[in-house]
Amino acid sequence: MKKTNVEPAQGKLGILVVGCGAVSTTMMAGVLMARKGMAKPIGSMTQMDKMRIGKGAEKQYKHYGEIVPLASLDDIVFGTWDVYPQNAFQAAMYAQVLQEKDILPVRHELEQIVPMSAAFDKDYAKRLDGSNIKLLPDGNIPSRWEMVEQLRQDIRCFKEEKHCSRVVVLWAASTEIYVPVEEKYHYQLADLEAAMRADDRQHVAPSMCYAYAALKEGCPFIMGAPNTTVDIPAMWQLAEQTHMPICGKDFKTGQTLVKSGFAPIIGTRCLGLDGWFSTNILGNRDGLVLDEPANFHTKEVSKLSTLETILKGDEQPELYGDYYHKVRINYYPPRNDNKESWDNIDIRGWMGYPMQIKINFLCRDSILAAPVALDLCLLSDLALRAGRYGIQRWLSFFLKSPMHDYTQGEEAVNHLYRQHTMLKNAIREMGGYEADEEVD
């Protein structure tokens, strides 16, 4: 490894996950099984991928951990918050993502991961009805500022009890109802703090309390759902002020991963697009929450944003000036975590002749999301030790609706191959090598 300015990954890395559901327990069980040599971390780029460093005679292909000082899986300690009190073993069994043979060998470790009470507001996830929520001594729900204070205390206690040198906070909980960005509340940190102190429950989502608490306690924050949370200028200011990395939003796992990889095929081949219809059936708790129209709208905004930044009508109006893009998610309990997505793509070829492409992806939602969640935690921790703070655009590869400064007219990068180049160049730079791939 070349000499870098990145601080070494010494001591234990705490990963505090908001939500002890299918995604988080699948990640936890997988990491614990991999540590025992009983499973392979397939799908995790930090564990499996190799990338090029150097050119010509100097060219080598190395794992990320051979280029930059990543935290070891052996040094990870998990904690969680959840509205349901079941420990991680019980939650993993309930989720029915993994078979018992892949859970029972790490049962003892999972049983030690007991959720702390969640900062929860039922108005933001009406389909959830858990009892493990933060309450005041009088039985009332805490104000937004009281939520922040309680969460900060949770982080401090976890870090001390588990002897962690660093902690990353990851949102892997349900999608909240859509919170529109409003300049009066979300552009200036002082205004956001004032809204929290005033217990403004309309403009301050519970997830914002988690993010604020994490950043104030020196923890990078990752938004794995499409919630507005850190995608507001006030949170960017806080991240800059505290020198903490933030990234989001929404894990890019199934249909959007396909879309961000397939749309460039249409664009680079200069084929026309008339319409792209995407639909999903999903039966887990995420599907239940998204069955509520207000929660689905948050997801819809996230999923719709991908295509329009890859196939741009203003740049090539003859090809992409007037296509129809529709996204649907349908709650279908029999499928549980085994999501199925269908894409119907209507394209035009030579002389305007129509053609169709059909993509049917029968995926396992949490099996795809777990390695993405792990990679985002390890790479956010790397960013912290490398002195990279604020929005981590180089992590866009893992996210459905990557963060960007929309107040300055910046556009998100959704093109999968450009995202991959950004990721590799950032790792090269942190490893002391030249960022030598072009992004165009």
Domain holding 354: CATH number?
A: 3.30.360.10
**Residue 269 belongs to a domain:** yes
Mean pLDDT of 358-372: 95
Mean pLDDT of 162-182: 96
**Residue 102 belongs to a domain:** yes
**Residue 438 belongs to a domain:** no
Where are the alpha helices (H) located in 18-98, listed in sequence order?
A: 22-35, 45-48, 64-67, 88-95
Give the structural domain span for 304. Answer: 255-362
Residues 292, 213 share a domain: no
pLDDT band of 282, cuts 50, 70, 90: confident
Residues 232, 95 share a domain: yes
- Residue 440, pLDDT score: 74
Look at residue 298 and tell me whether its pLDDT is greater than 70.
no
- Residue 288, pLDDT score: 72
Residues 205, 189 share a domain: yes
Look at residue 1 and tell me whether its pLDDT is greater than 60.
no
**Residue 5 belongs to a domain:** no
Residues 405, 324 share a domain: no
| Percentage of the chain modeled with pLDDT above 90 | 84
C-alpha 368/C-alpha 365 separation (Å) is 5
Residues 322, 179 share a domain: no
**What's the token pair of residue 87?**
């420990």
**What's the token pair of residue 382?**
């790397």
Of 340, 362, 384, which residue constitutes the final position of a domain?
A: 362
Q: Which residue has the higher pLDDT, 337 or 109?
A: 109
C-alpha 256/C-alpha 264 separation (Å) is 13
Residues 148, 31 share a domain: yes
Of 362, 396, 411, which residue constitutes the final position of a domain?
A: 362
| Percentage of the chain modeled with pLDDT above 70 | 96
- Cβ-count burial 362-401 (b if 16+ within 10 Å, e if not): ebbbbbbbbbbbbbbbbbbbbbbbbebbbbbbbbbbbbbb
The residue type at 26: T
C-alpha 168/C-alpha 268 separation (Å) is 38
**What's the token pair of residue 383?**
């960013």
pLDDT digits (tens, 9 = 90+) for 177-204: 999 999 999 999 999 999 999 999 999 9
**Residue 167 belongs to a domain:** yes
Residues 223, 277 share a domain: no
Of 337, 362, 387, which residue constitutes the final position of a domain?
A: 362
**What's the token pair of residue 422?**
């950004």
pLDDT digits (tens, 9 = 90+) for 213-251: 999 999 999 999 999 999 999 999 999 999 999 999 999
- Predicted structure pTM score: 0.94
pLDDT digits (tens, 9 = 90+) for 385-421: 999 999 999 999 999 999 999 999 999 999 999 999 9
- Residue 254, pLDDT score: 87
CB 71 within 8 A of CB 60: no
pLDDT band of 287, cuts 50, 70, 90: low
pLDDT band of 302, cuts 50, 70, 90: low
Q: The CATH number of the domain where 45 resides is what? A: 3.40.50.720
Residues 135, 34 share a domain: yes
**Residue 215 belongs to a domain:** yes
Q: What is the mean pLDDT of the chain?
A: 94
For CA atoms 69, 70, 71, 73, give the dihedral sign: negative
- Residue 27, pLDDT score: 98
- Residue 5, pLDDT score: 84
**Residue 260 belongs to a domain:** yes
Q: Which residue has the higher pLDDT, 45 or 298?
A: 45
Task: Please name the helix (run of DSSP H) or strand (run of DSSP E) that holds residue 247, with its range, or none.
Answer: strand 245-248
Residues 233, 94 share a domain: yes
Residue where the block lists tokens 């079941």: 86
Residues 156, 298 share a domain: no
Q: What is the CA radius of gyration of the chain?
A: 21
Residues 216, 229 share a domain: yes
As separate numbers, helices (DSSP H) first and strands (DSSP E) second, the chain gives 16, 13
**Residue 32 belongs to a domain:** yes
Residues 22, 137 share a domain: yes
- DSSP for 364-415? -HHHHHHHHHHHHHHHHHHHHHTT--EE-GGGGGGBSS----GGGT------
- What is the tally of structural domains in the chain? 2
Look at residue 18 and tell me whether its pLDDT is greater than 90.
yes
pLDDT digits (tens, 9 = 90+) for 97-156: 999 999 999 999 999 999 999 999 999 998 888 899 999 999 899 999 999 999 999 999
